[in-house]
Amino acid sequence: MRLVAIVFMSLAWMFVLGLTLWCFAKLMKADPSKEHLPPPGTSL
C-alpha cells in the first residue's frame, strides 16, 4: 500500500473507532441510576 493511502485509512479508522470507543467507555461509566430499567417482573 502507498504511504499516503495508509495515512488516510489510519486516520479515518482511528477517528471512527476512537469516537465509538470513547462514547461506549463514557456510557459504561455513566451513573446506573440514570438507566431507566423497567420495573422488576416486566417481561421484555
Partner 1 sequence: MSEHAQRRERWGSRIGLILAMAGNAVGLGNFLRFPRQAVANGGGTFMIPYFIAFILVGIPLMWIEWGIGRRGGQHGHGSLPGQFDVLWKHPVAKYLGVMGLFNTLVVLIYYCYIESWTLAWTFFSLRGDMRGLDEQGMKHFLYSYQNLSDPSVHATWVPFAFFFVTLLVNFWIVGKGISAGIEKLAKIGMPILFVFAAILVVRVLTLGPHEVVVNGVAQTASPADGLNFMYTPEWAALAKPAVWLAAAGQIFFTLSVGMGSLSAYASYLKKDDDIALSGLATAATNETAEVVLGGSLAIPAIVTFFGVGSAIAIARAGGFDLGFISMPLVFNRLPGGVPIAAAAGFMWFSLLFVAGITSSVAMATPALSFMEENFGWTRRNAVLVVAALAVGIGLFHVIYYQRGFLDEWDYWAGTFGLVVCALFEVIIFVWLFGPRNAWAEITQGAQMRIPPFFRFVLTWVTPLFLLVLMGWWTVQDAIPTLLMKGKPEAEIPVRWASRAVMFGILVAQLWLIGLAWRRRKAQGRV
Give me the least distance between CB of 10 and partner 1, in Å please: 9
Report CA torsion sign: 19, 20, 23, 26: negative
Min dist. Cβ of residue 31 to partner 1 (A): 8
* ∠ Cα 8 13 15 (to 5°): 95
Please give the Cα distance from 32 to 34 (Å, whole number): 5
Contacts to partner 1 by CB under 8 A:
1-2, 4-6, 8-9, 11-13, 15-17, 19-20, 22-24, 26-27, 30-31, 34-38, 42-44
